Structure 1
Amino acid sequence: MKGKTIEDICIGDKASLARTISESDIYLYAGITGDTNPAHINEEESKKSIFKGRIAHGMLTAGLISAVLGTLLPGPGSIYLGQDLKFIAPVRMGDTITAQVEVIEIINNKIVKLRTDCVNQNGEVVIEGFATILPPKNRGDL
């Protein structure tokens, strides 16, 4: 898989990937990060929350955006500079989330700004935001 260099990227370029969030994804993420908030791992406690049951970690879901940026657009060799996120709706076990990115600006012919959204299987936006990426300058950097 090859990434795009700054010369290959155009405003309007898009990429996406989908993944179904499993219970093991949530437990593995909790173990890796130490985020054992009951909202994610305790069914009985989470039933008392505003979500009325367990939800995936927001950053687990946002990680799908990182996967698109690092593997598809711009892809390998890219450097993630920043991300603004807004969590719109909860993600539950069994939801299929599609992370979508679109190039919206190229700054000084070296930094790429992308719209970054995640939607569930019903087309509902669960995360919206913007990323800034430094793509590779030339093929040797891929």
Structure 2
Amino acid sequence: MIDRKRKLGKQIDELRIGDSFTAIKRVGDRDLLLYLGLTNDSNPLYIQHDYASQTPYEKPIVPSVMLFGMVSSLISMHLPGPGSHITQHEMAFPHPVFHETEVKFLLEVIAIDKEENRAALSVVGYNEKGDTVIQGKLYVTPAYRPKSLTASSLENFF
């Protein structure tokens, strides 16, 4: 991984309103168990079928913050990409996501503020039935270019 050259994400001047990225992610039991282990979250609604069956959801659901983590990953890796940082977000989760569900995420740049080096992105996610499972708006600081081209600590980028 250290030997491979990586490209930084888009800078503010490279972004355009309407730039978009789409990805499909499946929320598997393995992913869910890793998340729950890392966060020490033992909410029975997320893992216990007997409890969840007695709720309006009828079966275990995926934590909404895990869905947001997927959005964060898409921003960090694709739009604007590596070097970017989410500074503010507002999310809604209108329908639950169940284990082993495929979610289609759509990110789109909706505003650019070059003076503040900040872009606004909308996000919408749909389950396999077409229900909206996540929607919101994020503010992102795109990647900064390093000031020194000779900085050896950053030689894996460029």
TM-score, length of structure 2 as denominator length: 0.83
Q: Distance in 1 between matches of 2:51 and 2:121?
A: 37
Cα distance in 2, alignment partners of residues 63 and 121 from structure 1: 19
String of CA shifts for 1:5-62, please: whole Å, max 9, x gaps.
1111000000122111111211111111122111001110111111011011111112
**Pair 1:116-2:123 in alignment:** yes
Alignment of 1:1-142 (within 5 A): 2=7, 3-109=9-115, 110-138=117-145
Q: Which has the larger radius of gyration?
A: 2
SS in 1 for 2:31: helix
**Greater displacement, 45-54 / 118-127:** 118-127
Q: Structure 1: which 5+ runs fail to align?
A: none
CA contact (8 A) 1:5 1:139 kept: no
Q: Give the aligned length.
A: 142
Corresponding residue SS for 2:54: coil
SS class of match (2:138): strand
Deviation at 1:102, TM superposition (A): 0.4
CA RMSD of aligned residues (A): 1.7
Partners of 1:68 and 1:100 within 8 A in 2: no
Percent identity among equivalent residues? 27
| 1:7 aligned counterpart, secondary structure | helix
Separation in structure 1 between the aligned mates of residue 26 and residue 108 of structure 2, nearest angstrom: 21
SS in 2 for 1:113: strand
Query: Matched residues in 2 for 1:119 and 1:35: separation?
Result: 25
User: Is the contact between residue 65 and residue 100 of structure 1 (CA under 8 Å) also seen in structure 2?
Assistant: no
Structure 2 distance, partners of 1:108, 1:7, is 7
Question: Within 2, Cα distance between the matches of 1:81 and 1:33?
Answer: 22
Offset of 1:139 from its aligned partner?
Answer: 6.9
TM-score (norm 1): 0.92
Matches of 2:146 and 2:137 in 1, distance apart?
26
Shift of 1:80: 1.3
